[in-house]
């Protein structure tokens, strides 16, 4: 659930459908990619974004 909430902040979902699947495209995100998206949306918080511990990316 924490990852879903996090991804909602990054991708700004309007609808959610939960289904069992494998080979999720969210696995393609890298920490730097997510940070860049967040920095574009909240440029005043760049230093805080750099310090974020991101859930499950780059593993």
What is the structure's pLDDT at 5? 79
Whether the pLDDT of residue 3 is over 80: the answer is: no
pLDDT in tens, 7-51: 888 888 888 788 877 777 777 778 888 899 999 999 999 999 998
| Residue 4 belongs to domain spanning | 1-13+22-59
- Looking at the predicted structure, is the pLDDT value of residue 56 above 70? no
- Tell me the C-alpha distance between 9 and 16, whole Å: 13
pLDDT at 18: 80
Query: What pLDDT score was predicted for residue 1?
Result: 59
């Amino acid at each position: 659930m924490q990852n879903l909430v996090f991804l909602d902040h990054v991708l700004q979902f309007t609808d959610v459908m939960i289904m069992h699947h494998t080979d999720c495209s969210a696995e393609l995100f890298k920490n730097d990619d997510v940070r860049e998206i967040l920095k574009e949306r909240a440029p005043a918080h760049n230093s805080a974004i750099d310090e974020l511990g991101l859930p499950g990316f780059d593993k």
